[in-house]
Amino acid sequence: MALDRSDEDLVKAFTRGDVNAFEELMRRHEDRIFALAYRMTGNRSDALDGTQDAFTAAFRNAKKFKGNSAFSTWLYRIAINSCTDLLRKRQRQVPVEEVEDRGEAPREIDDLGLRMELEEALAQLSPDHREAVVMHDVGGYPYEDIAVLTGVQLGTVKSRISRGRQKLAEILEQRDPRGASKETT
């Protein structure tokens, strides 16, 4: 029975042709991958796309999984890459409907205007800084987990979060209370 098999056993079975094994892997991990995608993208529609992209990539690349890390770690890395790619492609402002849809965020900001400003400011960060800040400050991932998931050193993670927060503060400070950029003299 699939429930008795480890993720690694299921991957091996899938690579030998057992499609049901991959379906079981999806069932086991889809909620966590969607939650990660939601935290990274900030809205349900993009999170669904990111989740689908991640599982499609895992399906296509299952033979590349060597077992050097847990399957879940490998899959999270794929999901992070999928969401990062999706965000790069979208590079757009978030419509009001999507911002209103994000009521589940752990640190919900009550003011819609401020949430929109924050989304716009996050979009201006480099992908590495945005990924680290979102994973830590929105997703609640500890530094060590981010290091494993992103494949970078712990010090790099801390630096990206610090610099990302600093850049966010600078961007937000340059805006007036109505959300428009302040004129610099």
This prediction has a pTM of 0.58
Q: Could you report the per-residue pLDDT of 112-144, keeping only the tens digit for each?
A: 566 667 777 877 888 889 888 887 887 677 898
Q: Measured between alpha carbons, how far is 127 from 138 in angstroms, rounded to an integer?
A: 15
Residue numbers in the chain where pLDDT is lower than 70: 1-3, 91-116, 139, 176-185
